[in-house]
Structure 1
Amino acid sequence: MKKVTKAIIPAAGLGTRFLPETKAMPKEMLPIVDTPTIQYIVEEAKASGITDLVIVIGKGKRAIEDHFSPNYMLEENLKKKHKEKMLEEVEKTNEMNIYFIRQAYPDGLGDAVLTAKSFIGNDPFVVMLGDDLMQDKVPLTKQLIESYQDSGASTLAVMKVPHEETSKYGVIDPLDEVKPGLYDVKTFVEKPNPEDAPSDLAIIGRYLFTPEIFEVLENTKPGKGNEVQLTDAIDTLNKKQRVFAHEFKGKRFDTGNKLSWLETNIEYGINHPEIKGEFREYLKKIGKRLEKEDQ
């Protein structure tokens, strides 16, 4: 069985939920406290044993390329000034092989994954979405890799969500629980209405695929939103070979809209080693002020 060392991060979306900021700045570069969101995704890949990473970008995403390119002038400056902690931060992903592929037009997540076919070749690989930050003792990507090493099958991450929110996600219809937290799946449904949702187990932003997914994607017609939906391709793949769902039980932070992005910043801020004390005190003051205003 081939070792999983490759990953795709789709980052070609237009980021319209964050306009006007994303007119010039990629949404993947929006910071969580002091770190671009996509940096956390790349660090998770590194911690999971990924060595070769391709980021699928579109027009106006040059800032992502610049961020992951070594900045020798900055690094030398930090060395001379003995700012070791800052140097460590900017060098975190220097040793990874990070490549960029341009998606001509944002035509759905399935199309973005297909764009990286030549990079992946005939190897198993991981897809990591930039909107979801995952926290657990073992990185979620590594959990999927370990599951694949046992089964040899494509495996995607799912998490229980409130039933009324199932229309926001791809949802699985589980056949049975093969072992604790691992499901054999009957069908995968893209954004069902709550009354039609087969379960509360929603697909979240981590997938591990065998290379056969590419042939399926090449023959997948546009679905919801007139885009090539990855969930539709997964459902087709599941009819040809088993696809498992691994239930994630850690913490998931959604950065895909303004409110959830602000909530994530607060969650990360109250644990940030540099500011957590002062920030917690500030939040207490805000809480007291809001209580008075609401009375």
Structure 2
Amino acid sequence: MGHKIRKAVFPVAGLGTRFLPATKAMPKEMLTVVDKPVIQYALEEARAAGIEEFIFVTGRNKTALEDHFDYSYELQRTLEERGKKEALEGINSWLPKPGQVASVRQQLPLGLGHAVLCAKHLVGNEPFAVILPDDLVLSKTPCMKQLVDVHEETSGNVVAVVDVPREHTKRYGILDVSSDDGRLASVKGLVEKPDPAEAPSTLSIIGRYILTPAIFDHLEKTGRGAGGEIQLTDAMVKLLGQEPFHGLRFEGKRYDCGDKLGFLEANIAFGLARADVAQDLRRVIAELT
């Protein structure tokens, strides 16, 4: 039913002030979980979902992101000369092909909706994915692949959702659902950061979306909402009733790498999921605690 999802937008213009001083000269998306930058997990997840074009919406001081996904002649040559085949394979296996990565500057810090709007001309008239690298998902099937599979069934818009404690609803965009089978919820309303007493549910949107190109018209008309920013949620509300809209309770666990504790937790969880370090990491944790 749904179109093939070929393009993903990565909004990566944020300043990462919560991680200063680490992010003073380095993009927060280059912070590593185990041995890989957060942005690489995001791009690999997109690729595993069959996505072929990767669009970074960047700001100043973000050139390290583009360099990371570029060919490095000096490094390549040095590894070849030293016969480091494993390390060579380790960097070549995930490098995008020439032309697969594009970037556009957001220029003004006007929020997530504005970042998505900046990618309009690169996305064109087709449904597309949005991945927020701060949300890292550890799962058997990559989270975006799960969303792409649902989009093929339902077409329209699909967002990844998790159940949050009711007292946390004021931190998230929350769904108002018309039907819910425990996996897939049909969405009839969206409320940005509602008070726990007024929240229509505890289903919270996390940083994984499949959106139709109709979102761009609504973003252009939306104007600034909460915090003086162009809110993606405000534009998504306009799609409700016009097109299919579903929330997927995905398989896996989400870690908020935009938060110090979430970032530390992700390092431990992803370390324990890695055969090469899990055993030693367990020992280290036991010794420290």
Q: Same fold (TM over 0.5)?
A: yes
**What SS does the corresponding residue of 2:222 show, helix, strand or coil?**
coil
Aligned to 1:117: 120
- Partner amino acid, structure 2, of 1:86: A
Which of 237, 240, 265 is the matching residue for 1:238? 240
| Structure 2: distance between partners of 1:112 and 1:44 | 20
2:43 matches 1:66? no
Residue of structure 1 in register with 2:200 after alignment: 198
Deviations 1:225-244 (A, max 9, x none): 11111111111111432311
Which residue of 2 is the match for residue 151 of structure 1? 154
Q: Percent identity?
A: 45
> What is the rounded CA distance, in whole Å, between the counterparts of 1:241 and 1:2 in structure 2?
14
Counterpart in the other structure of 2:217: 215
Relative distance call for 1:102 and 1:23 in structure 2 (3 A) is same
Contiguous gaps of at least 5 residues in structure 1? 288-295
- Report what 2:13 is aligned to: 12
Residues 169, 202 of structure 1: 8 Å contact kept: yes
In structure 1, C-alpha distance between the alignment counterparts of 2:63 and 2:96, rounded to whole Å: 20
CA drift of 1:77 comes to 2.3
With structure 1 as the length reference, what TM-score do the two structures score?
0.93
Match of 1:56 in 2: 57
Is residue 256 of structure 1 aligned with residue 258 of structure 2? yes
Equivalenced residue count is 286
SS of the residue 1:148 aligns to: helix
Measure, in 1, the Cα distance between the counterparts of 2:84 and 2:163. Answer: 43
Name the residue aligned to 1:141. Answer: 144
Q: Which residue of 2 aligns with 1:285?
A: 287
SS of corresponding position for 1:192: coil
From 226, 229, 232, the equivalent of 2:231 is 229
Number of the residue aligned with 1:291: none
What is the SS of the residue equivalent to 2:223? coil
Q: 1:4-38 deviations in whole A, cap 9, x for unaligned?
A: 11000000011111112212111101111211111
Q: Which runs of 5+ in 2 are unaligned?
A: none
Question: 2-side partners of 1:252 and 1:124: how far apart?
Answer: 24
One-letter identity of the residue aligned with 1:146: D
- Superposed displacement of residue 180, structure 1: 4.9
Task: Tell me, in whole angstroms, the C-alpha distance in 2 between the residues paired with 1:89 and 1:197.
Answer: 46
The CA distance in 1 between the partners of 2:273 and 2:82, in whole Å, is 27
Give yes or no for contact 2:130–2:208 (8 Å, CA) kept in 1: yes
2:109 aligned with 1:106: yes
User: Greater CA deviation, 75-84 or 182-191?
Assistant: 75-84
TM-score (norm 2): 0.94
1:38 matched residue in structure 2: 39
Structure 2 letter corresponding to 1:107: L
Give the Cα–Cα distance (whole angstroms) in 1 for the partners of residues 147 and 280 of structure 2.
37
Q: Which residue of 2 aligns with 1:91?
A: 92
Partner secondary structure for residue 285 of structure 1? helix
Aligned with 2:258: secondary structure? coil
Which residue identity lines up with residue 79 of structure 1 in the other structure? E
Q: What do residues 214-255 of structure 1 show as CA deviations (whole Å, max 9, x unaligned)?
A: 001111121221111111111111143231111113111110
TM-superposed deviation, 1:181: 1.4
Letter in 1 for 2:170: S
Deviation sequence 1:122-171 (CA, Å, 0-9, x none): 11100000111112222111111111112221111111111111111111
- 1:292: which partner in 2? none
Moved more, 47-56 or 242-251: 242-251
Amino acid across the alignment from 2:106: Q
Where 1:23 maps in the other structure, the secondary structure is: coil
- Cα distance, 1:275 vs. partner? 2.9
**In 2: Cα distance, 1:130 partner to 1:47 partner:** 15
RMSD (CA atoms): 1.5
The residue identity in structure 1 corresponding to 2:233 is T
